[in-house]
Amino acid sequence: MNNNINNIVIVGGGTSGWMTAALLSKMYSQTLNISLIESADISTIGVGEATIPPLKIFNDVLGVDEKSFIAQTHASIKLGIEFSHWGKESQCYMHAFGTLGKNIGYTSFHHYWLASKPETASSLWDFSFNYQAASAGKFANVTRIHNEQLAGLTHAYHFDAGRYAQLLQQLCSNAGITHIQDTVNDVVLDEQGNIARLHLNASPPIEGDLFIDFSGQTGLLIDKALGVEFDSYQKWLKCDRAWAVASEASHPIIPFTRAIAHEFGWQWRIPLQHRTGNGLVYSSQFIDDDSAKQRLLSNLDTKAITQPRLLKFTPGRRVKQWHKNCVAIGLSSGFLEPLESTSLHLVQTAIIRLTKLLPHRRITPALVDEYNRQSQREFEQIRDFIILHYALNQRQSGDLWQQCRQMSLPESLRQKIDLFAQSGNLFRQQDELFTEEAWLQVMIGQGLMPSDHNPLANNMTAIQRDEFLSNLKAIYQHYCAQLPPHEQFLQR
């Protein structure tokens, strides 16, 4: 293996592979040779059609402007995720992006809300500008509410992942990336156990200094060639199947994703401009595949326009996502169900992590260990947030949900739940993806009301506190009324 890292080989295309190629080419096109091998025999899974806000930053870095992105990918705006029947069967709440209310000094807003002794949890969302806009079906690029020192709207997208991959592929083509359309049939290791070269079906062998595995759950490099073990999360995340199907577009196009709980799992609805993405995530322990498919098809808002596709998975992660001279990203590195739309975000953060730790010369143990440490922490933090939704359910129907209420939790999650329940406190861990506001909305939305709040919230009198909350609520309602309809924004 060379002392210098000169040649990077990406195995696998799709949205994730081309995201990686696009960012690497943007940052290293003058110093590295980048090749991407893509097999026409392998299709993408088609569940990565909803994102979270950091994708906008990723596009900005690549120089993809929002107007072009929305037009080319038939995208719509996403302001949050609506959860139906996750707490109690009849209840609904939203994990809305962005901030809630206004912090005062070092005291988070929600402590003032808790001190007001709200009679219902739903009133928390009176102080979310994102929620107000989403529920009204409105959107505009408002980064700040003028003169009020309040944040504006924070948005992500629903989009056609295949079209996004095509957009990125064109960027890569312009940057001079080598695109090889072929299938890997053999992986050759050197004496130190590093990957030396790949043999392809119809093309000459390709050598590289660093290989990035995007071969999906097959794990062609990280698993089949290098034998890296897999750490399963299935004792907490019990769903292991998903059906995905596209249906006709529905109008008006709502600016949020829907996650609808069923007795054996949950269903997603993702509204794009030209169609709706649908899927059913479920546990094969509680329903068979054919019955799950029929349940999905019978619960579509619009007519199906594709054949349903089945994905089987085990939630969890590779114990090492960087081993020897191979980095696994995407499905080859692990899988967390798409409940909070983190699949593409995990790809994005893995690429950024790699660019920060990419060696100039020899791959060193310190670099690899740090990459793996950060990757493990990120997977476990997102894992805990997804488990939270299941653990706090109050549903009366479905053995799945009863098991989830009774299961033992990771200690990291148990500590977070106990701290909030006893004091109302939430603290974001270093580099953690999900904010305090995200954790707060799921906990309150699913019925966990803390027994206490920060005593600093009592520095206001009850009258002052009520006036503070009332004014905030009125401001959000006023500015929401001025927003244009979501579809009008898309047409512009």
Q: What pLDDT does residue 147 have?
A: 75
Q: What percent of the chain has pLDDT over 70?
A: 97
Mean pLDDT of 227-240: 97
Is residue 122 scored above 90 in pLDDT? no
Q: Which CATH superfamily does the domain covering 7-74+159-233+316-381 fall into?
A: FAD/NAD(P)-binding domain (3.50.50.60)
| 3-state DSSP assignment of residue 454 | coil
Backbone angles phi, psi at 151, to 5 degrees: -70, 150
* Domain residue ranges in the chain: 7-74+159-233+316-381
Mention every residue, 6+ apart, whose C-beta is less than 8 A from residue 428: 434, 435, 436
Dist. CA 395–CA 426, nearest whole Å: 25
Could you list the active site residues?
78
Cβ atoms of residues 128 and 475 within 8 Å: no
Dist. CA 214–CA 230, nearest whole Å: 16
| 3-state DSSP assignment of residue 260 | strand
Cβ atoms of residues 318 and 328 within 8 Å: yes
Q: What pLDDT does residue 431 have?
A: 83
Cβ atoms of residues 63 and 167 within 8 Å: no
Q: What pLDDT does residue 185 have?
A: 95
Mean pLDDT of 245-269: 97
Instruction: Give residue-wise pLDDT tens across range 173-230.
Output: 999 999 999 999 999 999 999 999 999 999 999 999 999 999 999 999 999 999 999 9
